[in-house]
A = this chain, B = another copy of it.
Amino acid sequence: MEEGDPTLRLRIFDLNCWAIRYLSKWRQERVRLIGDMLLQDSFDLVLLQEVWSEQDYSDLKEKLRGCYPFSHYFHSGVIGSGLCVFSRFPILDTLLYQYSLNGYPYMLQHGDWFCGKSVGLVVTKISGIIFNVYVTHLHAEYCREKDVYLPHRLVQAWELAQFIRHTSGAADVMLLGGDLNMHPGDVGIRLLRGWTGLRDAFTEAARFEGCEDGCTLIPNNRFTVKAELLPFPQGVRIDYILYKAISSVTVKCEELKTTTGTAPGMDIPFSDHEAVMVTLHIQRQGQAAGDNLSTTEPALVDVVTETRTEVVVGLRAAQQQRHSTGRMAALALLLLLLQAAAALGALAGLVAGQPFPKLSFSLLAFLAIGVLLLATGLHLFHTMEVKMLQGTEEQMRMALRVLRERPSDG
């Protein structure tokens, strides 16, 4: 691809790297393998997720300096966002948007809350065309049958779509890569695509090579949890590259490839996810893609309504938890006050003798203080959750109003 060329061929690599320090198997070997492959097979843009160790990022950066001189790591949360981008072309600007909801701090076994899940934006200009490149990772789905995180993931999908819509005004092309933790037909994907007009590189690709149906989490990968994939013998597709031409530019997907359970020519995989590799063909003189919204408006109203229903279900659950944690805090406070009254009573000599053994009395007080602090913390957390779910629900209601009014407008 040359500067000034009227047509542009852009190669993009996307992978959830599963590089969690101390927890992910063969992490350092796999990161080294990813770096080797990126050096050999030169891409224009590399979008990575779950690079949790900043040391791994620094190592990759050092290794790839010659081929991908520009890069950015998105910091967020306690551990980091895990998101980073390597680019052959100068990165002109970046912005990070942290999702307002991201699971629960007390679900330690599902560490999502600590990761500060976000969407990162990188702006780059290639042959005079401005690209807004988004990379993200949404909340994991731990149990598809009873998915308690669905409202949070839908709030994230909504915020992602809103962030993309609002920040892409000055761009010619937008690209989104990442682990969306949603199957292609899920309401969140339909919402994201409908609300932004993004196209799915997999369905648009002229040529395809890789796992059946483009799956990116497959039983054939030695690191995937086989039990989770039992209902899906071929695997699932949850990693995506999406794109949209905004101004007078056309974008076509020439080719999409995935790895197939191992790194090419090796016997270990890059990650528990398969990599997605896309070749886009970008032409300047083409017709503008136009506002995709108008063509799909009735369907879009349905999708937003469906999402809103799920968000309201989440809102009810959050309100209930706010209520029950508040009640628990109140009970703990009551117990403490009773103990204080009893202790004061004993001190003032109103009660004869020493009515309670000291040790269990003070243990009980400490227990009450512990419960009070914990329940108050949870109550505050669920209050925030309620507010964010309410806010999203209101935004969706406004979106529905605008969607319904639009035909009468113009």
A interface residues (Cβ-Cβ under 8 A, vs B): 72-78, 80, 90-98, 100, 116, 121, 162-163, 165-171, 358-359, 362-363, 366, 380, 383-384, 387-388, 390-391, 394-395, 398-399, 402, 405
> A95 to B387, Cβ gap below 8 A?
no
Q: How far is the CA of A359 from the CA of B165 in the complex (A)?
A: 62
> B399 to A93, Cβ gap below 8 A?
yes
- Complex contacts, A72 vs chain B, CB 8 Å: 394, 398
- Complex contacts, A98 vs chain B, CB 8 Å: 98, 100
- Complex contacts, A394 vs chain B, CB 8 Å: 72-73, 75
Q: How far is the CA of A73 from the CA of B165 in the complex (A)?
A: 21
- Complex contacts, A387 vs chain B, CB 8 Å: 75-78, 80
- Complex contacts, A94 vs chain B, CB 8 Å: 395, 398
Output the least CB separation between A195 and chain B (Å).
11
A380: contacting residue among B78, B90, B169, B380, CB under 8 A: B78
> B76 to A388, Cβ gap below 8 A?
yes
List 11 other contacts, CB 8 Å, given A73-B394, A75-B390, A94-B395. Answer: A75-B387, A75-B391, A75-B394, A76-B100, A90-B402, A91-B398, A93-B402, A95-B163, A95-B166, A169-B169, A169-B171
Of all chain B residues, which has the CB nearest A94? B395
- Complex contacts, A166 vs chain B, CB 8 Å: 93, 95, 121, 166-167
- Complex contacts, A388 vs chain B, CB 8 Å: 75-76
Of all chain B residues, which has the CB nearest A121? B166
- Complex contacts, A402 vs chain B, CB 8 Å: 90, 92-93
Output the least CB separation between A126 and chain B (Å).
14
Which of A80, A116, A362, A387 has the most chain B CB within a 10 Å cutoff?
A387
Q: How far is the CA of A72 from the CA of B394 in the complex (A)?
A: 9
Q: How far is the CA of A163 from the CA of B163 in the complex (A)?
A: 10
- Complex contacts, A97 vs chain B, CB 8 Å: 97
Q: How far is the CA of A181 from the CA of B72 in the complex (A)?
A: 31
A–B complex contacts, Cβ < 8 Å, 5 sampled: A74-B391, A91-B398, A93-B165, A362-B363, A366-B366
Of all chain B residues, which has the CB nearest A97? B97
- Complex contacts, A100 vs chain B, CB 8 Å: 76, 96, 98
Output the least CB separation between A212 and chain B (Å).
39
Output the least CB separation between A239 and chain B (Å).
25
What are the nearest 4 A-B pairs in CB distance? A169-B169, A169-B170, A75-B391, A75-B387
Output the least CB separation between A326 and chain B (Å).
13
- Complex contacts, A165 vs chain B, CB 8 Å: 93
Q: How far is the CA of A362 from the CA of B363 in the complex (A)?
A: 8
Q: How far is the CA of A387 from the CA of B388 in the complex (A)?
A: 24
- Complex contacts, A95 vs chain B, CB 8 Å: 162-163, 166
Q: How far is the CA of A405 from the CA of B70 in the complex (A)?
A: 14
- Complex contacts, A116 vs chain B, CB 8 Å: 384
- Complex contacts, A380 vs chain B, CB 8 Å: 78
Assuming the contacts A93-B402, A94-B395, A362-B359, asked whether A77 and B384 have C-beta atoms less than 8 A apart, the reply is yes
> A78 to B384, Cβ gap below 8 A?
yes
Of all chain B residues, which has the CB nearest A99? B98
Q: How far is the CA of A91 from the CA of B168 in the complex (A)?
A: 19
Q: How far is the CA of A165 from the CA of B93 in the complex (A)?
A: 10
A78: contacting residue among B163, B170, B383, B395, CB under 8 A: B383
Q: How far is the CA of A363 from the CA of B358 in the complex (A)?
A: 11
Q: How far is the CA of A358 from the CA of B360 in the complex (A)?
A: 11
Q: How far is the CA of A405 from the CA of B399 in the complex (A)?
A: 41
> A76 to B391, Cβ gap below 8 A?
yes
Q: How far is the CA of A165 from the CA of B132 in the complex (A)?
A: 13
Q: How far is the CA of A333 from the CA of B366 in the complex (A)?
A: 19
Of all chain B residues, which has the CB nearest A395? B94
